[in-house]
Amino acid sequence: MKKTLTGLEELLGKAGAERSGYIHTASEILSQPTMWRETWECVNKASTQLKALLGDNPRLVLSGAGSSHFVGVSVAPMLRKVFPYAEAVSSTDIVMDPESVFPKQEFILVSFARSGNSPEGIAAVDLAEKLCAGNVKHLAITCNPKGELAKIVGAMGSKGYVLNLPEGTNDKGLAMTSSFTSMVLAGLLLQYIDKDNITSSRADVDALSELGQHILGKFDEVARRISNEDFARIYFIASRPYFGGALEAHLKVQELSGGSIVAYASDTLGLRHGFMASIDDQSIVVLTSSSNAYRKQYELDILREIKKKKLGKMVVVIADDKSDFEDFADVVVELNASAPISDGFLSIITVLLGQMIGFYVSMVKGLDPDYPSPKGIINRVVEGIRIYPYPVPDGSF
């Protein structure tokens, strides 16, 4: 039987696609299931060095800016179940107030970065060295071995380690796609390093990759439908274990639409605390459901309320089983996973739909998804940031 092509695959097969303004972003979205398997290989190969750096019971501060910060938000809940301390703090917050971020005890600063050239990420490493010398080690998880971050941490000897992800994760498009999901996966795999059973995670990664390949086709159809709706706002709703995926999904739509769509991310119970007031008849609502029966009760409650109050133009639910949600959603995307997917991995699945919605909205609005900011308001590597000297306090920090 001939394989049915997704919309992205059809676009990539068109004559002149290489000059289209979408070839990188489309290719990078579709490459992700392959990149996840390659990411596992990178982590597995580096497992001895990672275990040596992590040591016993490490405290982790997860740093990054923008999408790279959302990587930390995505992995922190799972890592907190394994490590005594794992907190995601954006490098932008670290630069502004480092003394409230860094622990007094020994810790590892885990820096996530696609390019490794963002000024705040480099400044966060420098501040940790200046304020916490002797108490801090560094792990850089990056998609660019030639970036400044990789060079700095790579020169630290036993105090630092650089985990370089596959070359294909270093997206050429402006929006982070394969870089984001691959860094999330690498971060999640640290829990297996700590348990000395990285090989056991291969089955989970294979299952995730198979699901990703399958769900990209389903998401493609839904994303095209949404992009042709006349909407002005979109809300991504998710619970804590995978809320980082909702944050990244909202950013993808906002970036790739050139800012013409206003996007939001809310945790499931938090929606009632103000955000709900802004859901109007020009709003799309996307909720990712948990495989956890406890959390699912709250998700169904919020969907009942949205329906009762007649909020939103369209409600979309991503779920294991559509039967629970058909009465409350216009579209239910059923995962049909061969085995239940851990909620920790749902950040990766959630963001795929945001990437594809953003891509198709960009196309509908006549933008180039590879560079959706024609006025240069945003860039692939952030610009215009000046880093000022920090007044290091006298004595011990």
Position 82 pLDDT exceeds 60: yes
Angstrom CA distances, 207 to 27, 114, 337, 352, stand at: 21, 25, 8, 16
d(CA 292, CA 258): 36
pTM value? 0.96
Q: Is the Cβ–Cβ distance between 153 and 124 less than 8 Å?
A: no
Q: Which of 133-137, 364-368, 392-396 has the lowest mean pLDDT?
A: 392-396
Structural tokens at position 272: 């009632």
Give the per-residue pLDDT at 220. Answer: 96
Q: Where are the beta strands (DSSP E) in the chain?
A: 59-63, 85-88, 107-113, 136-142, 160-164, 233-238, 262-267, 283-288, 314-319, 331-334
Mean pLDDT of 201-207: 92
pLDDT category at 396 given cuts 50, 70, 90 is low
Beta strands in 262-350 (DSSP E): 262-267, 283-288, 314-319, 331-334
Instruction: State what percent of residues in the chain have pLDDT above 70.
Output: 96
pLDDT of residue 219: 95
**Residue 8 predicted with pLDDT over 80:** yes
Task: Please report the pLDDT score of residue 397 as a whole number.
Answer: 57
Determine the Cα–Cα distance for residues 180 and 369; give it in Å rounded to an integer.
17
Mean pLDDT, to the nearest integer, of 79-87? 95
Q: What angle do CA 250, 76, 158 make, to 5 degrees?
A: 120
Look over the chain and give the mean of its residue pLDDT values, rounded to a whole number: 94
pLDDT, one tens digit per residue, over 20-77 is 899 999 999 999 999 999 999 999 999 999 999 999 889 999 999 999 999 999 999 9
Closest listed residue to residue 113, CA positions, set 29, 183, 186, 41: 183
Q: Which amino acid is at 92?
A: T
Model confidence band, residue 244 (pLDDT cutoffs 50, 70, 90)? very high
The Cα 88–Cα 101 span in angstroms is 10
Q: Are 144 and 170 in contact (CB under 8 A)?
A: yes
What the chain holds in terms of domains, given with CATH numbers, is 7-196 (3.40.50.10490), 204-365 (3.40.50.10490)
Mean pLDDT on 67-92: 96
DSSP state of 167: G
Confidence band, pLDDT 50/70/90 cuts, at residue 17: confident
Query: Tell me, what's the pLDDT at 341?
Result: 76
Q: What is the pLDDT of residue 250?
A: 97
pLDDT above 70 (res 2): no
SS3 state of residue 392: coil
Count CB-CB contacts under 10 A for residue 343.
Answer: 20
Average pLDDT over residues 141-168: 97
What pLDDT does 339 receive? 66
Distance CA 352, CA 219 (A): 8
Q: Is 376 left (phi over 0), alpha (psi -120 to 50) or beta?
A: left
The string of pLDDT tens digits covering residues 283-315 is 999 999 998 999 999 999 999 999 999 999 999
Residue 145: CB partners within 8 Å, gap ≥ 6?
162, 164
Instruction: Please say if the pLDDT value at position 142 is more than 70.
Output: yes
Tell me 330's DSSP state: S
- What is the CA angle 157-120-191, rounded to 5? 55
Task: State the pLDDT at residue 377.
Answer: 76
The neighbouring-strand residues paired with 116 are: none
Q: What pLDDT is stored for residue 3 in this prediction?
A: 67
Nearest to 256 by CA among 26, 18, 16: 26
Q: Average pLDDT of 144-155?
A: 98
Q: Where does the pLDDT of residue 392 fall: very low under 50, low under 70, confident under 90, or very high at 90 and above? A: confident
Alpha-carbon distance 62 to 113, whole Å? 11
In 3-state terms, what secondary structure has residue 1? coil
Say what the pLDDT of residue 395 is.
57
pLDDT at 182 over 90: yes
- Rounded to the nearest 5°, which phi and psi values hold at 185? -60, -45
Is the pLDDT at 371 greater than 60? The verdict is yes
Q: What is the pLDDT of residue 383?
A: 77
Looking at the predicted structure, is the pLDDT value of residue 1 above 60?
no
Position 342 scores a pLDDT of 81
What Å distances lie between residue 241 and 245, 259, 331, CA to CA?
A: 9, 27, 23
Q: Which of 101, 155, 102, 91 is nearest to 133 (CA)?
A: 102
The pLDDT of residue 98: 97
Q: What is the structure's pLDDT at 181? A: 98
Residue 126, CB half-sphere, CA atoms under 13 Å: how many? 16
Alpha-helical regions (H) of 169-308: 178-188, 190-194, 202-227, 243-256, 293-308
Least confident of 66-80, 146-160, 257-271, 381-395: 381-395
pLDDT at residue 235 is higher than 60:
yes
What proportion of the chain, given as a percentage, has pLDDT over 90? 85
